[in-house]
Chain A
Amino acid sequence: MKECLLCATSLETLPSWKSLVGMEEQEVICERCSNSFERADIKEEGTTLASITSLFMYNDAMKDYLHQFKFLQDIALAKVFRKELNGVLKGKTNIVPIPMHPEKKLARTFAQVEALLDAANIPYLNVLEKLDTGAMGEKTRRERLEMKPLFTLKQEIQIQPETYILVDDIYTTGTTLQHAAKILKEAGALRVEAVTLIRAK
């Protein structure tokens, strides 16, 4: 029997003709857990970053989710938001996940943003490289703003005069996204937008 990935209660899903022919993805979490997440659907506009779209608020349920996904390394949870990510990213091109430092990726055994995109079947480009190993959460706002570049463009990467969409798991002050957008713009991107799963305040 299938169980909710978050609370392990059994999922009683009625098969529809779409699910039988594999056209509809099956639910991976129960309704109760699903309702515990708070939709945000915030779109903020700016200059370096033309827009930042965030799908969910950072509430208790999301805090637990991130803990299990990132800290407990439960990559199975990448599937939880595949529908919502598809809703904003399906059919789009030039999708760029915010990269992790290789050492950190090794320790976590996977890169969480790429895992989210993979689970949603969204193709993406790895064009950026992370420079600093420090975690954002450990820095003060001032430190974040004064920091040296966080990313660099990978060698032999050509940026086209087109629209690029950055993807990250959580948007707090926007420093990470601003840094990444600046690099892409300087390399010739026409417009840079961003999509994050979570908006923290």
Chain B
Amino acid sequence: MMKDTDFTLRDFLAGRIWHREHIPFDTEIIDAHIKAGHIKVISGVTKTSKYFQQTHYFCRRCENEEQARFTTFQCAKCDGPCAYCRQCLKMGRVSVCTELIAWIGEDLVFANDHQIAWQGNLTPLQKKASAELIESNHQKKSHLIYAVCGAGKTEILFEPIYELLKDGKRICLAAPRVDVILELEPRLKAAFPETPIDALYGGAKPSLAPAQLILATTHQLYRFQEAFDVIFVDEADAFPYTADGTLKRAVKKAAKKDAPIHFVTATPSKQLIVEANKQGAISSIPRRFHGHPLPVPRYESLWNYKQKFEKGKLPPKLVNWVRERLDHQQPFLIFFHHIELMEKALPIFQTIDERIQSVHAAHENRKAHVLALRNNEVPGLLTTTILERGITIPNVQVAVVGAEQQIFTKGALVQIGGRVGRAVTYPDGDFVLFHHGISNAMDDARKEIVNLNKKGGKL
């Protein structure tokens, strides 16, 4: 029997809960560590009889207990009735007879010699928020950073992260969307050049080395438990985090007991503000780092735009808007509420300029198209709400087609407007809402932006 710990295995598995068959280590090594008591084995789905003998399933990886998301079947492996979880299926199926493994041996100890290479300057408001966040970490208290789009939220986190790293703490920076993670990864790697950092998202391979700072989509946190001393949830109000209860549970599960969970967003829900007021602290920043106000949306009616697209026609107002962007060589984004409508509109837009492209969540060239826009190889993109946040393109001009549609909530519109005027060199730009009738959300978003500008202007 092996008594010694395989440190590579410990480095990988500590803090994780992993599918036994999918772990990148030999079966013999895993078996020996189970025998030696360093690894515990957990049944993937537990089955209990609750509520008058009715079977109740619970997924031990993603903690889903929505019974409709379990499928029961005759399993050839365990030779009988079995059930699996469809919630986290894409990470490798977990069923009653699946074994999950977790590390219970010697703890991971992290280095405390780190370097911070970031040398930018913080505005007084950013500095204050950063200091308040450090204080909350000392008190193990949750903190909400409520800062307008373009306030420089990530920079606020650098100093607090540095302090935690020096204390040997393990940190996770999570966001609901992969785009946000992809944008954060190079910035954090540049800021902390000596720190092992791992970025986890669907399709990314986790490194075997123990990462002290992990960037992850909230989905990836299904695979962690009691791993982190502090978790930051960036863009905490973004889909699907708000709509999916298992993601909120995943964040809690990934945090160690009593570990503070911080939220960072420009558009917090009322509930998030209430919770932060009750148990934690809030730092609010109503002003962009460059000091210029947020662009206020203007309204333009675009009656019956759907029928026009169906007929293969582009409303003249839209044509003019696009032509103006092309004449001034300004990159642009046009938001749509529905993929199909956008795909119908794309060929019509391409008659103005054939280089115009479209992106949506499942689009295979999504990353490439956004990069092309950034590099001025594409003049503009049609997009779904997938690009409503997380991206910065200097001098980008933004239009929303069908701003009255339900999907464009107040938060979504504020975020979309937040794409405009982010760079110091181009602190302003056009933010236009093309609509078939004005919605409450449009008015609410506009009011919020005007109010924030008032608050920010007084400082």
Taking Cβ atoms with an 8 Å cutoff, the residues of A that contact B are: 2-3, 68, 72-76, 105-111, 115
Give the chain A neighbours of B71 by CB distance below 8 A: 74-76
Q: Knowing that A73-B84, A75-B73 are A-B contacts, what are 9 other residue pairs whose CB atoms are under 8 Å apart, sorted by A's residue number?
A: A2-B68, A72-B89, A72-B90, A105-B76, A109-B73, A109-B82, A109-B95, A110-B75, A110-B76
**Candidates B68, B77, B82, B89; contact of A74 at CB < 8 Å:** B89
- Give the complex CA separation of A72 and B85 in angstroms: 11
Give the chain A neighbours of B89 by CB distance below 8 A: 68, 72, 74
> Across the interface, do A106 and B76 meet the contact criterion of CB distance under 8 Å?
yes
- Give the complex CA separation of A17 and B193 in angstroms: 66
* B81-111 near A? 1/0 per residue, CB < 8 Å: 0101010011011010000000000000000
- Give the complex CA separation of A110 and B95 in angstroms: 13
> Across the interface, do B86 and A109 meet the contact criterion of CB distance under 8 Å?
no
> Across the interface, do B93 and A110 meet the contact criterion of CB distance under 8 Å?
no
> Across the interface, do A109 and B90 meet the contact criterion of CB distance under 8 Å?
no
> Across the interface, do A109 and B68 meet the contact criterion of CB distance under 8 Å?
no
Residue of A nearest to B21 (CB): A107
The 10 A-B residue pairs with the shortest CB-CB distance, nearest first, are: A76-B71, A109-B77, A73-B93, A75-B73, A109-B75, A105-B76, A109-B76, A106-B76, A106-B77, A72-B89
B27 within 8 A of A: no
B74 within 8 A of A: yes
Give the chain A neighbours of B90 by CB distance below 8 A: 72
Give the chain A neighbours of B93 by CB distance below 8 A: 72-74
Please give the distance in Å from B338's CB to the nearest CB on chain A: 11
**Candidates B73, B86, B92; contact of A110 at CB < 8 Å:** B73
- Give the complex CA separation of A106 and B75 in angstroms: 8
Residue of A nearest to B93 (CB): A73
Give the chain B neighbours of A107 by CB distance below 8 A: 77
Please give the distance in Å from B76's CB to the nearest CB on chain A: 5
Question: Could you give 19 example pairs across A and B, Cβ below 8 Å?
Answer: A3-B68, A68-B89, A72-B90, A72-B92, A72-B93, A73-B93, A74-B71, A74-B89, A75-B71, A76-B86, A106-B76, A108-B76, A109-B73, A109-B75, A109-B76, A109-B77, A109-B82, A110-B75, A111-B76
Taking Cβ atoms with an 8 Å cutoff, the residues of B that contact A are: 68, 71, 73-77, 82, 84, 86, 89-90, 92-93, 95
- Give the complex CA separation of A4 and B90 in angstroms: 16
Give the chain B neighbours of A115 by CB distance below 8 A: 73
- Give the complex CA separation of A178 and B95 in angstroms: 36
Please give the distance in Å from B74's CB to the nearest CB on chain A: 7
Please give the distance in Å from B57's CB to the nearest CB on chain A: 14
Most buried by A among B75, B76, B77, B82: B76
Please give the distance in Å from A32's CB to the nearest CB on chain B: 8
- Give the complex CA separation of A115 and B74 in angstroms: 10
Residue of A nearest to B340 (CB): A32
Residue of A nearest to B362 (CB): A7
- Give the complex CA separation of A106 and B76 in angstroms: 5
Please give the distance in Å from A94's CB to the nearest CB on chain B: 23
- Give the complex CA separation of A108 and B84 in angstroms: 13
Please give the distance in Å from A104's CB to the nearest CB on chain B: 10
Give the chain A neighbours of B76 by CB distance below 8 A: 105-106, 108-111
- Give the complex CA separation of A110 and B76 in angstroms: 6
Residue of A nearest to B71 (CB): A76
- Give the complex CA separation of A11 and B74 in angstroms: 26
- Give the complex CA separation of A106 and B82 in angstroms: 13
Give the chain A neighbours of B82 by CB distance below 8 A: 109
Give the chain A neighbours of B75 by CB distance below 8 A: 109-110
Give the chain B neighbours of A76 by CB distance below 8 A: 71, 86
Please give the distance in Å from B430's CB to the nearest CB on chain A: 33
Please give the distance in Å from B154's CB to the nearest CB on chain A: 31
Give the chain B neighbours of A111 by CB distance below 8 A: 76
- Give the complex CA separation of A119 and B68 in angstroms: 17
- Give the complex CA separation of A109 and B94 in angstroms: 12
Most buried by B among A2, A73, A111: A73
Give the chain B neighbours of A3 by CB distance below 8 A: 68
Residue of B nearest to A74 (CB): B89
Please give the distance in Å from A93's CB to the nearest CB on chain B: 24
- Give the complex CA separation of A75 and B86 in angstroms: 10
- Give the complex CA separation of A72 and B84 in angstroms: 11
- Give the complex CA separation of A108 and B97 in angstroms: 12
Give the chain B neighbours of A2 by CB distance below 8 A: 68
Give the chain A neighbours of B73 by CB distance below 8 A: 75, 109-110, 115
Give the chain A neighbours of B86 by CB distance below 8 A: 74, 76
Please give the distance in Å from B212's CB to the nearest CB on chain A: 32
Give the chain B neighbours of A106 by CB distance below 8 A: 76-77
Residue of B nearest to A76 (CB): B71
Residue of B nearest to A105 (CB): B76
